[in-house]
Structure 1
Amino acid sequence: MPLIDLGDSIPPNTAHAVSVSLPTWKSNVGYEEGEKWVVDTMITGYPRFFIHKSIQAFCADIVAKYGHPGQQAMLFPTRRTAERCLDFIREKAPKPAQADLSVLHLVLDSSKKTPDSLHLVSPTISAVLFLGDAYPFAKQYWQHSGDGVSSRRAEFCHGLFRDDILVPERRSPSSPHLAQQKLRRGPKRYQRGSSIDGINGSDGNQDTSSLDPAKSESADSFESLRFLEERFGRNLDMSLVNNAKSAIRRRIAGVLTTDLDLSSKSLPTMESNARGLTNFREDDIYLVPCGMNAIFTTHQALLKTREPRKSINFGFPYVDTLKILQKFGPGAIFYGHGSSADLDDLESRLKNGERYLALFCEFPGNPLLTCPDLERIRKLADAYDFVVVVDETIGTFVNVNVLPFADVVVSSLTKIFSGDCNVMGGSIVLNSSGKFYQTIKSAMGDVFEDNYWAEDVIFMERNSRDFKSRIDRVNANAEIICEVLNAHPLVNKVYYPKYNDTRPNYEACRLPSGGYGGLLSCTLKTKAQAIAFYDALETAKGPSLGTNFTLTSPYVILAHYQELDWAASFGVDPNLLRISVGLEDDLRTVFGKALKAAEACESSG
């Protein structure tokens, strides 16, 4: 991939990109320290950390029309998700920051005639309104929960709002009926020369959300329900969204590995013995707006299944998993090494009468790619009555089958399942043979809301059609990069399931045709060498993972900048580089060149 300028989207010219370019070590540090030379260049960012500009624009218009002076807004898809944010602010924020809090729920104006297809997607928005002192707490909820609106939902609903079609729920309708829209070949934003996600190809930095509302094409919002995907060479009616969701769920189940005609009136019957289980049904798979929301929703459901108890975070986690367990509910105990000794300590606690709600772990972990002993964890869970939740995002169900050891398996579909880095998504899979299945299933009925926005579903279904073949390719490419790194004297250590001490735990779950995944990390002898290597590396460089192109980051700087010593205490080097491996053909050469740059630098430590 060509060098991408600082602050540009990854992929370039992509309106709903999931990553942003931070091409030098210094720019990563500058981002974490909020330096203007970095932050002011950013046209986007990872969606749970950087609120998309289309969402910001919608927030500003809501506050201008319905808010009070000094208020800000945070947008959620439903009243229920917004109320959770409100409750979080009231629980965590100091009293002065709780002043002037409210929720504004926007719905379709029932007095106006709108196409039937509009109602298929339930274009609602709930805005949490607050004063500036409450913003950090609202942002925490947004980041940790994954409940916030997607940028596509915000963009679409903003058009309805500007046309006074999306209105406060209790508002008395007063506007005249809209004339029916005359359908044409597609909305203007899909007719003009554009990139794959709708940004004008002549100016990749154009912020369409800042256009004059009077000149906007919001009337085309209706038509974009039917004309979404001209980049794929055909239109796709949004009435097919349910079939698209079904196709995604069947891919997750492992029973759909070929292309599928979504226009079919009925999909092929899903076999019930998928993923090594019996009685496995499609409705045991839940789709949510992002991977972290899968963890958050699962935790919320588990808190309803029994007396609330602390959970266990086993192994060094992705940052927000631990935050969810600590900030929502009774808290958590943390085993950051995820070792046999940690399991010994947990078993001792259990034998002494301590009881827990659930154990959350990743398989493999991020960024050290170590694997917990799921067989032993399952035995402890059965003996001492706690739920096992496994995040398989990095392992993927093509390489490993962790479901027989878990009660719930969660995953971020944003990553390699999509691959295109232009849409978010997550999944929750219940083990239909698990001892807690019925109680979790019942709790999910109370907790789960289908908030996955229709346009995001369409992108995810299309992106995931070649998921399995892409996994096979990145498995092979990852091993090539490991070979290059392991052979070089400046590389201190390579972290990869195939080479870690916990490989036997991985092998216990690896499928016969499975590889070792597309994520690896490494450390070099000195910080100066790590910086030189990163700066010279000719890959995309930014947050996220699981992209079809290789994506590199100084992960610990981005994820744990305010707690580097804490991370180091669990063996996570502050100068570690994480490499998400893509589909390219020349990666051996690319990494060889970067290592040459490391050789040439001054080893200043």
Structure 2
Amino acid sequence: MSPRNLLNDPAWQGCDLGHPLPDSPHAVSVALPRWRDVVAYEENDPACRDALKTIYPRFGLHPLIRQLTQPSEIAGSTVWPYPTAAAAQAALAHCRRKAPDSRSELIAIASVSCLRSDASATPHAKAFWQHTGLGLSSRQAAIALDQEAPPTSEDGEAARRAIRQRLADIHDVGPDHISLHPSGMAGLHAALTAVQNLRPGRSTLQLGFPYVDVLKQPRVVFHGGDLLQPQDMADVEAALDQLEPAAVIVELPSNPLLRCVDLPAVSALARVRGIPVIADDTIGTGINLNALPYADLIFTSLTKSFAGRGDVMAGSLLVCPQSPWARTLLTACTTVAGLGDADAIALEEASRDVKERAPKLDAHALLLAERLKTHPAVERVLHPKDCPNFRALMRSGAGYGCLLSFELKQGRQQAQVVYDALSVSKGPSLGTNFTLACPYTQLAHYDELAWAERCGVAADLLRVSVGLEDPDELWMRFQRALDS
């Protein structure tokens, strides 16, 4: 059977619950086609969870990984496999810090290094797995299970060289300034480890509404993370002087509000105080934005627009040559786990067309955003074009990224009706070549909706990653849902 073409046959109806997005054993998204499916997922409803044929890899254990680890679980324990012994050891050290009386241990399964956590350490093992993104990939699990053939190390290294060169060409830097990691969050882990060499034992300061794990990784795994939603640069300056953070973290743009801070001004304030700036350009992409003069480290989830297919996890970390700490950071940017051979080969293949594909996604997203603004049911549309600070970082001829968010005039009740009626694939993640929608706040902040509302993120906000479908046909799908 040929894989389902999600461009013209999206997974949007109740019968599609749990379908992998895309139709691949290594899909990183899963269909949650109705609002009630999202609620059931968040509330761990067994019927919903049992229907899922895959899961976003950092949020749980992929079915292939469960197949690998389940036989080694003993009463009350869970097993967490890692691609290297160093990564498993880091997970064990985290559990022992958080639960010193636990009896967690390292074990090997089919030559894979694993953490086996007892009941008291399991919440901490799960947090480390999610926030750091250092876990074993589904391809590595399939190889360990003898379900897929391992590639040669020479082919894996050739793929990594090609990816680094592709990213170097995008950012106009040397490939030696770029490292590859198992996920975007693993790239952040390497960045946070590096800045500890400059400013050890300090917390970080994040500016703007955060992607959940960008804030939680420094809070849970490192030395803490403060959050500031500044009104002006005076707020930033005061926070820098008061907190003296290890680093400032910014998203270009933020998720899901799609806004940027004034990065040149933030960089000037931070650097004069000896504080590096870490930027996440996953949504804006290096194709569109030039953050190099102002950010010292840039991490990216290559899972998203760079790959485009939604069936490979990967991340990168770029040390900016203009950084006053470039030499120190390059030396300090070691990683406990690099990008594996099989995933590197898949990513290299998927990203060959990124320079042609990404501008199409950007153009389609801009057109959909402009059309949504005209619809009488829509209260507001959030898109990077409306952010002056984003526009100030854009390269010549660049686009705005593939993401938009919108709210409806009648609030949650209408949002639920529109979401259920929307005939596009629905689930977590972004940057795929097929359109992917989700009620973002429900998925990312289900247990803290009131806090998100206070931060300006509506509980009924719908987020859309726009794909390569014909823009007019895609608009007809949105019109039908909005008019329902």
Aligned partner (choices 529, 542, 560) of residue 445 of structure 2: 560
Secondary structure, in 3 states, of the residue corresponding to 1:89?
helix
Equivalence for 2:318: 429
Equivalence for 1:162: none
The yes-or-no answer on 1:239 pairing with 2:137 is no
Aligned partner (choices 389, 393, 408) of residue 278 of structure 2: 389
Equivalence for 2:87: 81
The yes-or-no answer on 1:453 pairing with 2:453 is no
For the residues of structure 2 that align with 1:561 and 1:478, how far apart are their CA atoms?
26
Equivalence for 1:300: 193
* Residues 314, 334 of structure 1: 8 Å contact kept: yes
Secondary structure, in 3 states, of the residue corresponding to 2:452?
helix
The yes-or-no answer on 1:55 pairing with 2:65 is yes
Deviations 1:16-54 (A, max 9, x none): 101000011111111001112211100101000121111
The yes-or-no answer on 1:477 pairing with 2:480 is no
The yes-or-no answer on 1:9 pairing with 2:20 is yes
Equivalence for 2:143: 156
Q: 1:16-55 counterparts in 2 under 5 A?
A: 16-55=26-65
For the residues of structure 2 that align with 1:350 and 1:303, how far apart are their CA atoms?
17
Equivalence for 2:257: 368
What is the CA distance between 1:340 and its match in structure 2?
A: 3.9
* Residues 156, 344 of structure 2: 8 Å contact kept: yes
Secondary structure, in 3 states, of the residue corresponding to 1:434?
coil
Q: Provide the aligned C-alpha RMSD in A.
A: 1.8
Q: 1:138-177 counterparts in 2 under 5 A?
A: 138-159=125-146
Q: 1:170-569 counterparts in 2 under 5 A?
A: 224-226=149-151, 239-254=154-169, 275=172, 280-335=173-228, 337=229, 339-341=230-232, 343-351=233-241, 354-444=243-333, 447-499=334-386, 503-525=387-409, 526-569=411-454
Secondary structure, in 3 states, of the residue corresponding to 2:265?
helix
What is the CA distance between 1:436 and its match in structure 2?
A: 1.2
Greater gyration radius: 1
Equivalence for 2:119: 132
For the residues of structure 1 that align with 2:429 and 2:159, how far apart are their CA atoms?
25
The yes-or-no answer on 1:570 pairing with 2:455 is yes
For the residues of structure 1 that align with 2:247 and 2:367, how far apart are their CA atoms?
37
What is the CA distance between 1:379 and its match in structure 2?
A: 0.6
What is the CA distance between 1:450 and its match in structure 2?
A: 4.7
Secondary structure, in 3 states, of the residue corresponding to 2:107?
strand
What is the CA distance between 1:82 and its match in structure 2?
A: 1.1
Deviations 1:509-563 (A, max 9, x none): 1011201111000000121221111111111100000000000000110000000
For the residues of structure 2 that align with 1:106 and 1:69, how far apart are their CA atoms?
18
Deviations 1:229-285 (A, max 9, x none): xxxxxxxx6522222111111111126xxxxxxxxxxxxxxxxxx63xxxx421210
Deviations 1:332-361 (A, max 9, x none): 2201x3x443x322212445x642210011
For the residues of structure 1 that align with 2:465 and 2:190, how far apart are their CA atoms?
27
The yes-or-no answer on 1:92 pairing with 2:17 is no
Deviations 1:284-316 (A, max 9, x none): 100000111111121122113333212101111
Larger mean Cα displacement after TM superposition, 319-328 or 130-139? 130-139
**TM-score normalised per structure 1:** 0.75
* Residues 418, 482 of structure 2: 8 Å contact kept: yes
Secondary structure, in 3 states, of the residue corresponding to 1:132?
coil
**TM-score normalised per structure 2:** 0.93
For the residues of structure 2 that align with 1:3 and 1:470, how far apart are their CA atoms?
20
Equivalence for 1:193: none
Secondary structure, in 3 states, of the residue corresponding to 2:57?
coil
Equivalence for 2:3: none
Equivalence for 1:204: none
Give the gaps of 5 or more residues in structure 1: 108-123, 160-217, 227-236, 256-273, 601-605
Q: Percent identity?
A: 38
Distance 1:155 1:225, change over 3 A: closer
Give the gaps of 5 or more residues in structure 2: 1-5
Distance 1:350 1:389, change over 3 A: closer
For the residues of structure 2 that align with 1:436 and 1:152, how far apart are their CA atoms?
36
Residue type at the aligned position of 1:588: D
For the residues of structure 2 that align with 1:548 and 1:329, how far apart are their CA atoms?
35
For the residues of structure 2 that align with 1:429 and 1:44, how far apart are their CA atoms?
31
For the residues of structure 2 that align with 1:494 and 1:246, how far apart are their CA atoms?
40
* Residues 484, 588 of structure 1: 8 Å contact kept: no
For the residues of structure 2 that align with 1:340 and 1:250, how far apart are their CA atoms?
39
Give the paired residue count: 472
For the residues of structure 1 that align with 2:236 and 2:297, how far apart are their CA atoms?
20
**Which structure 1 residue ranges, 4+ long, deviate > 4 Å from structure 2?**
none
For the residues of structure 1 that align with 2:291 and 2:322, how far apart are their CA atoms?
13
| Greater relative contact order (CA < 8 Å, ≥ 6 in sequence) | 2
Secondary structure, in 3 states, of the residue corresponding to 1:520?
strand
What is the CA distance between 1:105 and its match in structure 2?
A: 4.2
Equivalence for 1:265: none
Deviations 1:125-181 (A, max 9, x none): 21111223422221111001111100111121233xxxxxxxxxxxxxxxxxxxxxx
Equivalence for 1:192: none
Equivalence for 2:78: 72
Secondary structure, in 3 states, of the residue corresponding to 1:389?
strand
Residue type at the aligned position of 2:389: N
